[in-house]
Amino acid sequence: MNITIAQLNYHIGNFEYNKIIICNAIEKARADGSELVIFSELCIPGYPPLDLLDRIDFIEKCNAAVSEIAEFCKGITAIVGSPVFNTYPEGKKLYNSALVLSEGKILFRTNKALLSARDTFDEYRYFEPGTNSSIFSFKGIKIALTIGEDLRDVQPFDNEFEKSGYPMDDPASYNPDMIINISASPFSHTRIESRKKIFTSKAARHGIPVVTVNQTGANTELIFDGASLIINGEGKIYHQLPYFEEMVFSFSLDDLAAWKNPSPEIRHDPLSLIRKALVTGIRDYFRKTGVKKCIAGLSGGIDSVVVLCLAREALGPENVKALLLPSRYSSDHSVSDSIELAHNLGIGYEIISIEKAFSSFLETLEPYFRNCKPDVTEENIQARIRAILLMAFANKFGAILLNTSNKSEAAVGYGTLYGDMAGGIAVIGDVYKTDVYRLAREINREREIIPEKIITKPPSAELRPDQLDTDSLPEYDILDSILYQYIDLNKPADGIVLENYDRSVVDKVLRLVNYNEYKRHQAPPVLRISSKAFGDGRKMPIVAKY
Residue 444 or 514 having the CB closest to its own copies = 514
> Smallest gap, in angstroms, from Cβ of residue 256 to its own copies?
33
Burial class (CB in 10 A: 0-12, 13-18, 19+), 264: exposed
> Smallest gap, in angstroms, from Cβ of residue 65 to its own copies?
13
What one-character-per-residue DSSP string does 219-284 give?
ETTEEEEB--EEE-TTS-EEEEPPBTS-EEEEEEHHHHHHT-SPPPPP---HHHHHHHHHHHHHHH
Residue 230 or 324 having the CB closest to its own copies = 324
Q: Name residues whose C-beta falls within 8 Å of residue 357's C-beta, 6 or more positions apart in sequence.
A: 385, 388, 389
Residue 343 or 521 having the CB closest to its own copies = 521
Cα distances (angstroms) measured from residue 202 to each of 170, 315, 457: 11, 40, 49
Query: Cα–Cα distance between 473 and 412 in angstroms, integer?
Result: 9
Instruction: Please name the amino acid found at residue 520.
Output: R
Residue 139 or 356 having the CB closest to its own copies = 356
> Smallest gap, in angstroms, from Cβ of residue 144 to its own copies?
21
> Smallest gap, in angstroms, from Cβ of residue 419 to its own copies?
8
> Smallest gap, in angstroms, from Cβ of residue 187 to its own copies?
17
Cα of 340 vs its chain's centroid, Å: 31
> Smallest gap, in angstroms, from Cβ of residue 413 to its own copies?
13
Report which secondary-structure segment, H or E, holds 25: helix 15-31
> Smallest gap, in angstroms, from Cβ of residue 217 to its own copies?
10
Query: Cα–Cα distance between 126 and 493 in angstroms, integer?
Result: 36
Query: Cα–Cα distance between 1 and 142 in angstroms, integer?
Result: 13
> Smallest gap, in angstroms, from Cβ of residue 225 to its own copies?
17
The closest of 141, 34, 14 to 78, measured between CA atoms, is 34
> Smallest gap, in angstroms, from Cβ of residue 111 to its own copies?
16
Query: Cα–Cα distance between 402 and 423 in angstroms, integer?
Result: 5
Residue 79 or 417 having the CB closest to its own copies = 417
> Smallest gap, in angstroms, from Cβ of residue 409 to its own copies?
17
Contact, 287 vs 319, CB < 8 A? no
Strand partners, 425: 402
Per-residue buried b or exposed e for 311-333, using 16+ beta carbons within 10 Å of the residue's own CB: bbbbbeeebbbbbbbbbebbeee
Residue 162 or 471 having the CB closest to its own copies = 162
Query: Cα–Cα distance between 325 and 393 in angstroms, integer?
Result: 13
> Smallest gap, in angstroms, from Cβ of residue 445 to its own copies?
30
Residue 164 or 261 having the CB closest to its own copies = 164
Residue 323 or 450 having the CB closest to its own copies = 323
Contact, 100 vs 79, CB < 8 A? yes
Full strand arrangement of the beta sheet holding 229-231: 135-138, 141-147, 178-182, 210-213, 229-231, 237-240
Residue 250 or 380 having the CB closest to its own copies = 380
Residue 239 or 532 having the CB closest to its own copies = 532
Residue 93 or 457 having the CB closest to its own copies = 93
Residue 339 or 391 having the CB closest to its own copies = 391
Query: Cα–Cα distance between 93 and 8 in angstroms, integer?
Result: 27
Cα distances (angstroms) measured from residue 178 to each of 99, 197, 246, 434: 17, 17, 24, 44
> Smallest gap, in angstroms, from Cβ of residue 82 to its own copies?
15
Instruction: Please name the amino acid found at residue 399.
Output: A
Query: Cα–Cα distance between 266 and 424 in angstroms, integer?
Result: 33
> Smallest gap, in angstroms, from Cβ of residue 393 to its own copies?
7
Query: Cα–Cα distance between 419 and 411 in angstroms, integer?
Result: 16
Strand partners, 399: 293
Residue 56 or 465 having the CB closest to its own copies = 56
